[in-house]
Structure 1
Amino acid sequence: MQSNLTSVVIPHYQDLENLGLCLDLLERQTVGRDAFEIIISDNSSPVGIAAIEAVIRGRAKLVISTVKGAGYTRNVGVEATRGDILAFMDSDCRPDPNYLEAGLAALGNYDVVGGRVRVDTARPGHPTAAEAFELVFAFRNKGYIQKKHFTVTASLFVSRAIFDKVGPFRNDVSEDKEWCLRAHGLGYRLGYADKAVIGHPARHDWQELQRKWRRITKESFLLFRTKKFGLLKWLGYSWVVLLAVIPQTLNVLRSKDVPGLNNKALALGMLVRLRVMRLLWSHQAIFSQWAKGRAE
């Protein structure tokens, strides 16, 4: 392990255009290129190793994860690192020039740090319905950290020593939340770095948005069912999520991130549609678990 070296760990799957942009932006970091290494952990993308290496162009080390899942793929990346600091992000992230510098500075005051995740749209000021929804509700990392004790892995800084003590990411669950809650449970301090800004593209349409939330619903259910009275709690939670449309409507109307009443109406429509579908997916998960139990 090399001291004073930051290892940027990026999982990747079949997203060469965004990966190339992410690497371009990392080349412009204010900390200097010799201060960090980049590890690309590819989850066996069908595009193939040669195509990925053509995008990397020697700017990062490529490792291959053969087990499907973001958690496992991040762990494979960690195993290839040399630095004493780990900085996790996604392959479609867009770090500001001082992102690493600001995140590392905050790590001097906390054990685990998350930055501000900016939601980027394809046409700023003219969002689609899905983008308008995400501008209000996606990546509210300050609240996640200060109220829920986790940071998204699109922006997570931690020392390698602490990561090893907490343990690797789990697979097939919301690995960022589960890992951070483990760290919090062990007494490690989570902090928010507002000056560490990293962009993440908004989901562009309903297909992308529902794919994201079906995955999150499945992963959240897997965490809930491990708790005492987990299925009952999950049932109650699913209805709370739906009824929260009422107070969340005010958040949309007050949002400064979504310009104009027409765009706010798009966001509200997507909010209602998604919350209804989340209720249905949640009940499907309960029924599937019940049916599985009866079959056994």
Structure 2
Amino acid sequence: MAPSKDLHEANRRSWNEATPAHNSHKGDQARALREGHCTLFPEEQELVGDVRGQSLVHLLCNSGQDTLSFAAKGARVTGVDISDEAIAFARSLSEASGLPGTFVRQDVYDWLAAASAEGTRYDVAFSSYGAMCWLSDLGAWARGLAGVLAPGGRFVVVDFHPLALTLDEQWRLHYPYGGGVHVETAGVTDYVAQAQDALVPWGFKEGVKDFRNPHPDHTFQWGLGEIITALLSAGLRLEALREYPYANGARLFPRMRETEGRRMWPPEELPTIPLMFGLVVIKPA
């Protein structure tokens, strides 16, 4: 399998359309960062650990809010994303917030190949919340990760659980589990409008109304075993695996219950299932 660059390009168009709508709901984000608001949830902070003085690359960084939250914790940060709109916003947010960061607009596969060939190495690589589903080739991705990690460096991902991605809006099994199956949908949605304060704790703004994306998106269904096997096959060592029965900040489905910490749970009448996972792998020294 090779990365599906044509589908990645279609996703770029879909994200370019959705990103301004997302940011329209988040108010003065630079001020929020200056005032000490952190967009990272406890789960990723626990798995990533202390980043003071470390180099960190955030792959599929979106508009850079989490990237700059790591900068506020003392990391030297680089963010990579395919969306022109997201990277332009991240650069302006970095300047306005006073938090330094380097942001690169590039397909993650192209960036990993180039950075690895150039000998660029990082102490930490990070991805989160809707990252794995955009990867069309796990093997190339995992080898690229191994290539940009310094010896002893770690990759951390906190993302929605593959099991959750098999469900439709009625909590019924609908999509296949794993296999790299390609799924086309009606485009990146305005999930920030759906989540409201759960994603904008410093104050949700109404912003863009009734967003409809004219560009379809293309995602890929990967099982947890496939993800871990790809990373191990690239020479990385598994250090931690977590499964969480809630989703942070995201109303993935109707009737989700919100509890303290902006955690979203299934409706009371349904049994708990893993809605997120966390994974840490290490590059042997």
Normalized against structure 1, the TM-score is what?
0.31
Structure number with greater Rg is 1
TM-score of the superposed pair, with normalisation by structure 2: 0.32
As a proportion of its length, which structure holds more strand?
2
